[in-house]
Every structure is written in C-alpha cells, then in structure tokens.
Amino acid sequence: MIHYATISHLLQAFGLPGPQHPLIWLNSFEACEMENFKQVPKFTCDCYLIFFKKITKGQILYGHSSYDHTQGTLSFFKPRQIIEFKEVKCDEKGFILAFHEDFLNNSGLFYKITKMSFFEYEVNESLHVSENEKHIFWQHFHQMEKEYNSNEDEFSKELIIAQIESILVYAKRFYKRQFLHRQPINSRFYTKFNEVLQAYYRTEQQYISGLPSVNYIAEKLHLSPKYLSDLLRHETGKSALEHIHLYLINQAKNILTSSDVTIAEIAYQLGFEHPPYFTRLFKKRVGINPNEFRAQHMN
C-alpha cells in the first residue's frame, strides 16, 4: 500500500507531468492514455478524486468492491480511501479531477463536502449518467479547465470551487434520479434489510455482538453503509439507523405487553449494553418510558 500526501507525488507515480497548482489537478484523457494507470499498485492519497469514464475492460477497485463500468459513470473518491486500477481500458474520452483537501480551506465547500454521502459509496454504486447528464458534467469540467489554464488571480480559486460544487450538486440530483429509476430493486433491498435484521436476532447474534449496526447489515447486502442509508431514505423517508431503531422499539413493545420481564432484561434481550440507553431510546421514539407503556397496555 502506497500513500501519496501530495498531488505531485500521485501524478509522478502515474508517469504524468506535475500540476500547475500544488493543490488541484484536472485532466481529460483519451482511451489510450489510460495505459498510465495499468501498473500502479493500490494506493491512498490526501485528495478528493472525481473520475468520469466508460471502461470496457478491467476493474477499478475501491475499498473492497469492484465494478466493470461498462456504462459511462462518475465516481467520487474521498481522501485516504484505498484505490486500485487493474488492466483498465476505456473506449471514449473521460476526465479526472483531483483536489487536495487543503484546497477547500476557507471555503463553504469545506464543510458541505463532508455531508455529501456519495463520497462514502463503493465503486459499484457509482453514478450512471445519461447523455444529457454527461454533457452537463463536461460543461463544468471545461469551465474549470479554462480557469485552471488561465493566469491565476484572486478569483481563480473561488471560481474553480464554484464549478466543483456545481458538479457535486448535480450529482446529488442525478443520484436521486438513479434511486427513482431503480425503485423495484430498492424495494427488494428494503425486504432484504429486514430479513438480515430478523436473522440477526433469530441466531441470537445480539448476545455476542450487541445491537445490530448499519455497517453489519450493509456488509451483508454488499452495499456501503451510506448508500444503503440513502437508498432507504429515498424509498421510505427513513435512514437505515432509523429502521433499526423502529425494529427494536416494535420488538420491545411486543415483549412489554406479552410478558412481565424487567426492563433491564428486555434491554439485554435486544442487545443493549446499558438499560438506561434502551429507556431513553424508547421514550424518544414512543413518547413515554417502557414502564408507562406497559401500564397503559396491560390493563
């Protein structure tokens, strides 16, 4: 594993010329130029990467997943995420944008970008773009390219960051479209989500690992936690964690009204390490504490 702290070192590894600016680099490439990416081992860097490509052969490995990218896709890579290119070939022009996290200092995007969950997605959850959407992204890229290659002045950074932010906002819009168009698939994932959650308790995993986590369920479904949560939020209006909490509360209600076990024992049965946390969560979701709920429903 190699880590590149600067864009210059990253480009050097790929056999490419150094950047015009130490904190940002952008480049469009022809299919043949992807040869530069073939022999570089897996790496991490301190940069955000936005990568548009249509790959006909090979894989880009991102985290623990891979995808063949036979359609044009836009991928978003966060700093210090493991990335690997394996025998990649493209059949049309693409672009790559790399900017060091320090480039965003003293800008509004410094905080906004951390809330853009698609930087947490795995590569098989890349944004698949239509021809019209592709045209929009290329427009913003060319505008950045023009500014990048011009003489730098006091407005250069602000203008480039504005274009980056526009790309990210469009990505949010188009991801919503992607969720919508794949709604039948999303519904199946909601069913599978519940199946994994039910199996967790059926096998009494809570006594070993405690409460089920979003990470655990996402791994079982071969999705990233952020993508799973965004997918569920789009489909149901609730995040993955909210669905876990709803399941816990429903199970607790059933136990409360069908047995006389203590609140501490119920918390233990559900996987809570500390009963007070269970009581707080129950009251937050139901409006009353477990004892009050039992009293109301046992009469």
Phi and psi at residue 270, to the nearest 5°: -85, -15
- What does the pLDDT read at residue 245? 93
Q: What is the CATH number of the domain that holds 268?
A: 1.10.10.60
Residue where a domain stops, chosen among 121, 154, 181: 181
pLDDT in tens, 5-35: 999 999 988 888 899 999 999 988 764 455 5
Q: Judge if 102 and 150 occupy the same domain.
A: yes
**Do residues 190 and 167 make contact, with C-beta atoms less than 8 angstroms apart?**
no
Q: Judge if 174 and 221 occupy the same domain.
A: no
Q: Within 10 A of 199 (CB to CB), how many other CB atoms are there?
A: 12
Q: Rounded to an integer, what distance in angstroms lies between the CA atom of residue 281 and that of residue 222?
A: 28
Q: Judge if 156 and 224 occupy the same domain.
A: no
Q: Rounded to an integer, what distance in angstroms lies between the CA atom of residue 212 and that of residue 253?
A: 18
* Residue-number span of the structural domain to which 17 is assigned: 2-181
Torsion of CA 119, 122, 123, 128, to 10 degrees: -70
pLDDT in tens, 125-172: 778 888 888 899 999 999 999 999 988 888 999 999 999 999 999 998
Residue where a domain stops, chosen among 124, 149, 181: 181
Phi and psi at residue 25, to the nearest 5°: -150, 140
Edge-to-edge order in the sheet of strand 2-4: 2-4, 43-45, 83-90, 55-62, 65-67
**Do residues 98 and 47 make contact, with C-beta atoms less than 8 angstroms apart?**
yes
Which residues, including other chains, have CB under 8 Å from residue 154's CB and lie 6 or more apart? none
- What does the pLDDT read at residue 92? 66
pTM (two decimals) = 0.62
Residue where a domain stops, chosen among 163, 181, 199: 181
Q: Rounded to an integer, what distance in angstroms lies between the CA atom of residue 67 and that of residue 83?
A: 12
3-state secondary structure of 186: helix
Q: Judge if 189 and 267 occupy the same domain.
A: yes
Q: Judge if 130 and 254 occupy the same domain.
A: no
- What does the pLDDT read at residue 124? 64
- What does the pLDDT read at residue 127? 82
Q: Judge if 15 and 97 occupy the same domain.
A: yes
Q: Judge if 38 and 151 occupy the same domain.
A: yes
Q: Judge if 205 and 142 occupy the same domain.
A: no
- What does the pLDDT read at residue 68? 37
Q: How many domains does the chain have?
A: 2
- What does the pLDDT read at residue 67? 38
- What does the pLDDT read at residue 250? 87
Residue (of 206, 224, 227) closest to 215 by Cα position: 224
Segments of the chain scoring below 70 in pLDDT: 30-40, 54-72, 86-92, 122-124, 180-188, 298-299
Q: Judge if 161 and 212 occupy the same domain.
A: no
Q: What is the CATH number of the domain that holds 165?
A: 2.60.120
Q: Judge if 173 and 220 occupy the same domain.
A: no
Q: Judge if 21 and 70 occupy the same domain.
A: yes
Q: Judge if 68 and 96 occupy the same domain.
A: yes
